[in-house]
Chains A and B, each alone.
Chain A
């Protein structure tokens, strides 16, 4: 159990276009999902916390108007990179928070490689 999927796995787009990335928890409900960027040779950087039915909470330095997050259901969160630029090229990873009794664990999706030309 505790499977998280992301779609697409890879996307190449032109500068100025918008790209939507989906994150789904397949076998559990997640009231909270997280969006990360992973830079080469660096650890994960938390971008925002996505809460079902409410506005996302963005980390300092992350532009909320550029990285639009929608958590419309208990199993789906989407990240839209608006007006993408080459510096937005990165590996975007989502995770879903699973609460099971006393435990509280994040499970990760496989990531989406975004390349902006």
Chain B
């Protein structure tokens, strides 16, 4: 069965620190990969997605993610975080043959001003 794991449930960083949130999935076929963000009191928003092509994907607000097929990973990165990046981040995957999303448990990111 497909599954998605996010390595850290909580991450606390200071402003200007670099960020990397891990995401690994288990599925042998072709997948689409997503990162969603939920800011406090707001709804889920798409941060970035990967379908094909360049494995380094750039999203909104300076985020990027790299798809490493050999590692079944799709880690989210940002070189310098801001207080406004405080949110919960969810990694999700769907198989090309099945559009249902499989979700990671989420990572709560807290940025200290």
Chain A interface (Cβ < 8 Å from any Cβ of B): 2, 32, 34, 42-44, 46, 49, 93, 95, 97, 102-111
Identify the closest chain A residue to B42 (Cβ): A110
Give A64 to B5 CA distance when docked, in angstroms. Answer: 29
| Chain B window 33-53, contacts with chain A (Cβ cutoff 8 Å), 1 for yes, 0 for no | 010100000111110010110
Per the bound structure, the CA–CA distance linking A22 and B104 in Å amounts to 26
A49–B101 CA distance with the chains assembled, in angstroms: 11
How far apart sit A44 and B94, CA to CA, in the bound complex (Å)?
14
Cβ-defined contact, B45 with A108, below 8 A: yes
Residues of chain B within 8 A (CB-CB) of A109 are 43
Of B43, B52, B94, B99, the residue contacting A108 (CB under 8 A) is B43
Q: Mark B13-57, 1 if CB is under 8 A from A, else 0.
A: 000000000000000000010101000001111100101100000
Verify B43–A111 contact, CB threshold 8 A: yes
Interface of A is mostly: strand
Q: Is the interface of B mostly helix, strand, loop or mixed?
A: strand
Q: A93-B44, A108-B36, A108-B44 are in contact. List 9 more A-B contacts (CB 8 A).
A: A2-B46, A34-B100, A34-B101, A42-B105, A43-B103, A44-B103, A102-B52, A105-B46, A111-B43
CB of B103 within 8 A of CB of A103, answer no
Instruction: With A32-B99, A49-B100, A108-B36 as known contacts, state yes or no: A43 contacts B43, CB within 8 Å.
Output: no
Q: Which of B42, B49, B52, B99 contacts A97 (CB 8 A)?
A: B99
When C-beta atoms are compared, the residue in chain A nearest to B106 turns out to be: A43
- Would you call B90 an interface residue if the criterion is a C-beta within 8 Å of the partner chain's C-beta atoms? yes
Contact status B100-A46, CB under 8 Å: yes
Instruction: List residues of chain B with CB within 8 A of the CB of A95.
Output: 44
Give which listed residue, B45, B51, B99, B104, contacts A43 with CB less than 8 A: B104
The chain A residue with its CB closest to the CB of B108 is A41
